[in-house]
Chains A and B, each alone.
Chain A
Amino acid sequence: MAHPLQIRAEILEISQVGAYHRMVLRAPGVAARVRPGHFAALAVGGADSAMLLRRAFSIHRADPDAETISLIIAEAGRGTRELLRARAGDTVDLVAPLGTAFPHPAGATTALFVAAGYGSAPLFALAEQVIAQGGSAGFILGAPTADRLYGVEAARQLTPDVLVTTDDGSGGIKGQVTLPLAEAIKAISAEAVYSCGPMGMLRAVTEIATAEGARSFCAVEQAMACGVGVCMACVLPVVGEDGVSRLVRSCVEGPCFDGTRVRWTDVGTIPADLHGAAAMGVR
């Protein structure tokens, strides 16, 4: 796990990016520690705020020279609405970087990056690392509608291999990111697929990638309450190296997992073979 800092971070910019907002924060000491896949947890409101739980966002970019990090935020409820009311110059209580990042790509590898909506946020920095190491990258970016895609232009600046899907056909291929996935893996001979999005998508991506002989690394979007590993709210069933399945924390052991170790179909349940299931009366 990352070694996080808790700081009062100045908001340098909040700007609308399509259906989302980009927040740029001055975060001295934080940026240099960030690896793609790490996340940040923001407190909502001040010391008397009635919203106690932090909101977690994957870190989009980290610039150690400028000592800034940027986050992509979708207005999803009271908490994000409150956070987006802030203006440049305001400060926010930030804990970052948090979580387990994506594994560092080994050597000159070929990787495919797959995301739904703003799930793509952490993937561009990782794709740049792959390319900088002499590897190559492809993207499949999907969303329900074209206006909810994120980073299509940024992806095209990195590679010509960019596919876009929308559920309603308003942009790119009509369908979900998994539709062109198998062909795309074959087309660029991808050795690894890095993905971020809803559980159902990550499960399907892992199944397809595995069937095509590629590794699958997934960043999960599980609801978190503390972000630092103490509350046990964000758990999901994962098979350990010893073969035993346990409920592990998305915020510490994740959010980036080897997709083949996550028991996707058992998320939200206590399967009978889970460590400690007997004590819950599960058979």
Chain B
Amino acid sequence: MTDDMIPAANLLPDDVDLTAPFGNGTLPNPVTTASGCAGYGREIAKFQPLTELGSITTKTIMPYPRAGQPTPRMAETPSGMLNSIGLQGSGIEHFVEHELPWLAERGARVLVSIAGERVEDFADTARQLNGRPGVIGIEANLSCPNAANRGLVFACNPATSYDVIAAIKEVADPALPLYAKLSPDVTSVTEIAAACVKGGADGLSMINTLLGMAIDTTTLRPALAGVTGGLSGPAIRPVAVRCVYQVHAAMRAGAVPEVPILGMGGIRTGLDALEFVLAGAACVAVGTAVFNDPTAPLRVLIELREALAARGFAKLTDAVGFAHR
């Protein structure tokens, strides 16, 4: 197929090759869960076999146990929600001992989201994933406050983003693709993307939540105990599609080295996922939609396959970035 052709609609969904680029390799299909929206897989496994998904992305794991923010932690907003969970978790040791083996036994392909408050925290956490069955990649959650930089998130600055990615790359198993998860709350997302790829990122996850806030008009106080929170859900989808499109365009223009993009932000249906693919994402993650519909990841996969077939795409990869033609 040439870039100028609108493909013919003559395919059955089962005929579509969903093999999705992931790092330097591939996954059987492009759909994963967005970090923080599917725990460590146990709960959503009651609603769909985890092996049906291309991968499962874990809730972000830190080097140490972390209580997270006090409640209230969540506020519903139009077509979205704000959360201020505060990265609650039991730490990497608990994860590799109690959660990862459960996932590995079930054959799940696990993309492990990690974070820290210091560059070394990311590296220490990543090191503990080397040689662990089930792990297919690492996603660095760069939207974590940097203790060494006035609590500003790593993702807001090309240099700190680079530092984190390079530090992980230095210690992590080179066979594990490293994805940098980018924040949309920056002046130029392509600049951060370029810094991450230069630092050694094998892929880019985009986007994380947008910083937002709601005030409870009954209590007359911020709705979240953490005051501000991350906005997610369909409300942010246009922002996410724009970010993916811009970075993919920069890759086509040679301004950013080409690596696969894992797109996310408000995906609720297969057509939403297709938007991200057309913008340039090779994989897609379903996040907040899981709270509304715990079967959403598998449903989105099925709907995406139907949508690709209906548009005559024999291969997922033929559709990646198709909106740029």
A residues near B (Cβ < 8 Å) are: 3-4, 6, 43, 47, 49-54, 79, 93, 95, 222-223, 225-226, 228-236, 247, 252, 267-270, 274-280, 282
Q: Could you tell me if B81 and A53 are in contact, using CB atoms closer than 8 angstroms?
A: yes
27 contacts between A and B (CB under 8 A): A3-B46, A43-B292, A50-B79, A52-B76, A52-B80, A52-B288, A52-B289, A53-B74, A53-B292, A223-B74, A226-B294, A228-B47, A228-B294, A229-B39, A230-B38, A233-B83, A236-B71, A270-B68, A270-B69, A274-B67, A275-B65, A276-B67, A277-B67, A279-B64, A279-B65, A279-B67, A280-B68
Assembled-state Cα–Cα distance A103/B132 (Å): 38
Q: Could you tell me if A247 and B289 are in contact, using CB atoms closer than 8 angstroms?
A: no
Q: Could you tell me if B43 and A269 are in contact, using CB atoms closer than 8 angstroms?
A: no
Known A52-B291, A225-B74, A226-B291; judge A232-B68 contact (CB<8 A): yes
Assembled-state Cα–Cα distance A234/B234 (Å): 22
Chain A hits for B268, CB < 8 A: 47
Q: Per-residue 0/1 for B21-54: is the Cβ within 8 Å of any A Cβ (1 yes, 0 no)?
A: 0000000000000001111001110110000000
Looking at the complex, which one of A3, A225, A276, A282 makes contact with B81 (CB distance below 8 Å)? A225
Distance to closest chain B CB from A114 (angstroms): 24
Assembled-state Cα–Cα distance A126/B222 (Å): 39
Q: Could you tell me if B88 and A53 are in contact, using CB atoms closer than 8 angstroms?
A: no
Assembled-state Cα–Cα distance A262/B89 (Å): 19
Chain A hits for B293, CB < 8 A: 6, 43, 93
The residue in chain A whose Cβ has the minimal distance to the Cβ of B78 is A50
Known: A230-B38, A232-B85. 20 other contacts (CB 8 A): A4-B47, A6-B294, A43-B293, A49-B292, A52-B79, A52-B81, A53-B74, A223-B74, A225-B74, A226-B291, A228-B44, A228-B294, A229-B42, A231-B85, A232-B88, A268-B72, A269-B70, A279-B65, A279-B66, A280-B68
Q: Which 3 A-B pairs have the closest CB atoms?
A: A276-B67, A233-B74, A276-B65
Known A47-B269, A236-B71; judge A279-B37 contact (CB<8 A): no
Q: Could you tell me if A280 and B72 are in contact, using CB atoms closer than 8 angstroms?
A: no
Q: Could you tell me if A51 and B76 are in contact, using CB atoms closer than 8 angstroms?
A: yes
The residue in chain B whose Cβ has the minimal distance to the Cβ of A236 is B71
Assembled-state Cα–Cα distance A234/B66 (Å): 16
Chain B hits for A95, CB < 8 A: 294
B131 interface hit (Cβ, 8 Å): no
Looking at the complex, which one of B67, B71, B85, B294 makes contact with A222 (CB distance below 8 Å)? B71
The residue in chain A whose Cβ has the minimal distance to the Cβ of B42 is A229
Q: Could you tell me if B292 and A230 are in contact, using CB atoms closer than 8 angstroms?
A: no
Chain B hits for A267, CB < 8 A: 71
The residue in chain B whose Cβ has the minimal distance to the Cβ of A279 is B66
Q: Could you tell me if A231 and B65 are in contact, using CB atoms closer than 8 angstroms?
A: no
Distance to closest chain B CB from A64 (angstroms): 20
Assembled-state Cα–Cα distance A47/B47 (Å): 18
Chain B hits for A52, CB < 8 A: 76, 79-81, 233-234, 288-289, 291-292
Assembled-state Cα–Cα distance A56/B78 (Å): 19
Q: Could you tell me if B291 and A235 are in contact, using CB atoms closer than 8 angstroms?
A: no
Q: Could you tell me if B292 and A235 are in contact, using CB atoms closer than 8 angstroms?
A: no
Q: Could you tell me if B43 and A230 are in contact, using CB atoms closer than 8 angstroms?
A: yes
Assembled-state Cα–Cα distance A228/B225 (Å): 22
Known A6-B294, A225-B291; judge A268-B70 contact (CB<8 A): yes
Q: Could you tell me if B66 and A276 are in contact, using CB atoms closer than 8 angstroms?
A: yes
Assembled-state Cα–Cα distance A277/B234 (Å): 33
Question: Residue among A4, A50, A93 with the most chain B CB within 10 A?
Answer: A50
Assembled-state Cα–Cα distance A52/B294 (Å): 12
